[in-house]
Amino acid sequence: MTEVSHQQWGEVSSLGSVDLWVLKSNLLRVEVLTLGAIIRSVCSRGKDGQMKDIVLGYDDLEGYVSDKRYLGAVVGRVANRIAGGCFVVDRKEYQLDINNGPNALHGGLRGFNKAIWLATAVEGGVQLSLTSPDGDQGYPGEVQVSVTYALQGETLTADYQARSTKTTPINLTNHSYFNLAGQGAADIYDHQVSISAQSYLPVDDTSIPTGEIRAVAGTPFDLIEPVLIGPRLKEVPGSGFDHNFCLSFPGDTYAERYAARVHHPASGRVLEVSTSQPGVQFYTANFLDGSMTGKGGARYGKHSSFCLETQNWPDSVNQ
């Protein structure tokens, strides 16, 4: 049985009140905010029997309102990057706000992560819904979107749905940052990762895929067998992993697939990810720099956490 409860958590001027929903099974405790459909915390027991929060976040609402790193949020309309913030749909060109070098990232300057979602209780969880008006952040069509978080035992499911009045790109993901040693731990170098992908997408110097689908074999991106993150980060070009791993390909049957596993031997905690999406962006918090104060006064630095963002391939609207 999963206990579901909620309470008011704060107020955002000009937007309204924000609620905190708690999903609790005998193995996990998950907190969800109606702001940004944010996963605020996931508390899990280690082999020492201690419950620890393994998701980065903030102690108060102001932290999330001013956050620029999408901690725990659902990002959209389009997660990841769109080259030049530009795309063509039905022979019409759309120009989005540029918010990441020369590109558009994670839905725009005021994406889904900054909206207050409407919450309703469902069995074992909460459904959060949002209406994005036609022209929102430059995108065509009114979009009705929802995400349902449901907890059963030690499995947390995120189920996304979207419907639009016009043809429009949609690519939703959750942007939780995990550290299985507990949020606030210094780094993830002692975590082991495996990703069930034979190919990945190389990127240019602005993190847009080059168009090549490259085999992982013989590269630092071969994570099919578990590898220790710390040593492998020294082999990856740039400041760390921020790449799409290809789980399925155009034309493949739409089905849920096992995607990734992260193990923290010291605590015994394991995170396993399955998804019906064709890609997973493995990101090692390369742009956290210690300037953010998180829960319990923790300073979140580079490589202090990882994200496994299940999604469509980046810039797919143009490629």
Q: Show binding-site residues for beta-D-galactose.
A: 80-81, 175-177, 242
Q: Write a three-state SS string for 196-229.
A: CCCEECCECCCCCECCCCEECCCCCCCCCCCEEH
Q: In sequence order, what are the beta bridge partners of 245?
A: 200, 280
Catalytic amino acids?
Answer: 175, 309
Residues placed in the known binding site = 80-81, 175-177, 242
CA distance to 9, 32, 61, 208, 271, per residue, from 151 (Å): 21, 12, 24, 34, 14
Helix (H, G, I), strand (E, B) or coil at 250: coil
Task: Print burial letters for 168-193: b (CB count within 10 Å at least 16), e (below 16).
Answer: bbbbbbbbbbbbbbbbbbebbebbbb
Parallel/antiparallel/unpaired status of strands 86-89 and 92-95: antiparallel
Instruction: Report the C-alpha gap between 113 and 125 in whole angstroms.
Output: 20
DSSP string, 47-62: TTS-EEE-B---SSHH
